Structure 1
Amino acid sequence: MTPTVNGPFRSPVYDVRPIPLDKLRANAYNPNSVAPPEFKLLELSIWEDGYTQPVVCCHIPEDDIYEIVDGYHRYLIMTTSKRIRDREQGLIPVVLIEGDISHRMASTIRHNRARGVHGVELMTAIVQDLVDAGMGDAWIMRHIGMDPDELLRLKQLTGLAALFVDRDFSEAPE
């Protein structure tokens, strides 16, 4: 059954299509940026898991181009990572929305703002669960994109000595 909102409506995610990389272009109105560590993590995520979220675009028929509304960094990974581009055969998963420039701009901002942020309490609990599952610091840092200082701070927040059992502490000099 197709959901209705003021008539027939089908969510774009049900129509993911592979589009050649050279048919996409960035928009000029995305205020979002990704810091280098998170960009590396995104590349790792796409390498290890594949594209799990399509890029949201609007087709511009007069240019026969797909303008990115959301997913610019997923697109950028494809342009900068040869191994991913080769594996994906230069195709990127896209869903299409329709709308004029003001609708596309508003959609970009909604997508960006809806992402939220990671809560410290939940991240601390996740680190604790990973340590309890036997994952070492190197595994945790690599797979969830943390640097050593960030991991140490989250471990310190738990207050549990068990999180430090794999650390070698030396005495302070006299």
Structure 2
Amino acid sequence: MNIDIPCLHTLLVDRDMIQANDYNPNSVPRDKMELLKQSIIDNGFCFPLVVIWSDEDEKYIIIDGFHRFTICQPEWLDIRRIPVVVLKHDMAQRMAATVQFNKARGVHAVDKDADVVKALLEQGQTELEIAQSLGLDIDTVLRYKQMTGILDLFKNVKYSASWSIESNADE
């Protein structure tokens, strides 16, 4: 299989030009943050943040690396220039990438998956596209649709009749 992977270049960006996204369903306990801090001290910044450029915000928006970004703040390590890789993703691709990165690391808050599914549906993604990009089965996507507002998410679905009324000739 020959897959075309975009060439990624690492840049050093001032931390004031970077901001978090508002959809990441991942959280890390304080002890793991301390371990991340120590890892950066001991090993350097081995994994750049993955970001997109937002013309609207005039900043880089984090797709992956929020906790590494947090460690760069003054209350932790006070690192001013942060390595980033810039992707050219639309909102649906960004959200899917965030979930992919979280799941690939084995840390992901499943209870917020439903909100991500809802947001991707609102971005115009199909259930099948969402299932594929988030590594979910279609039944799970449908279950998440139900959890996040069944009426709005199912309003454009065509249904078949589950039963029909037949007349009884004996009456």
Whether the TM-score (by the shorter chain) exceeds 0.5 is: yes
Structure 1 43/73 Cα, relative in aligned 2: closer, same or farther at 3 Å? same
Partner of 2:94: 104
Residue pairs, 1:56-67, within 5 angstroms: 56-67=50-61
Over 3 Å off, 4+ runs:
none
**Counterpart among 37, 40, 53 of residue 43 in structure 1:** 37
Partner of 1:133: none
What TM-score, normalized to structure 2?
Answer: 0.57
What TM-score, normalized to structure 1?
Answer: 0.57
Partner of 2:6: 10
1:114 and 2:104 aligned: yes
Q: How much has 1:41 moved relative to structure 2?
A: 0.2
Partner of 1:94: 84
State the aligned residue count. Answer: 106
Partner of 2:15: 21
Q: How much has 1:10 moved relative to structure 2?
A: 3.2
> Using the alignment, how far apart are the partners of 2:39 and 2:13 within structure 1?
20
Q: How much has 1:81 moved relative to structure 2?
A: 4.3
1:71 and 2:65 aligned: yes
Q: How much has 1:70 moved relative to structure 2?
A: 0.3
The root-mean-square deviation of aligned C-alpha atoms, in Å, is 1.8
> Using the alignment, how far apart are the partners of 1:50 and 1:99 within structure 2?
28
Q: Deviations over 1:23-80 (max 9, x none)?
A: 0000000010001111100001011111000000001123220000000000000014
Q: How much has 1:98 moved relative to structure 2?
A: 1.2
- Identity among equivalent positions (%) equals 37
> Using the alignment, how far apart are the partners of 1:17 and 1:56 within structure 2?
10
- Structure that is richer in helix per residue: 1
> Using the alignment, how far apart are the partners of 1:26 and 1:62 within structure 2?
14
> Using the alignment, how far apart are the partners of 2:74 and 2:24 within structure 1?
19
Q: Deviations over 1:74-104 (max 9, x none)?
A: 000001445x32xx4x100000111111110
> Using the alignment, how far apart are the partners of 1:4 and 1:35 within structure 2?
36
Unaligned 5+ runs, structure 1 = 118-174
Q: How much has 1:11 moved relative to structure 2?
A: 3.5
Partner of 2:169: none
Unaligned 5+ runs, structure 2 = 108-171
> Using the alignment, how far apart are the partners of 2:57 and 2:95 within structure 1?
19
Partner of 2:112: none
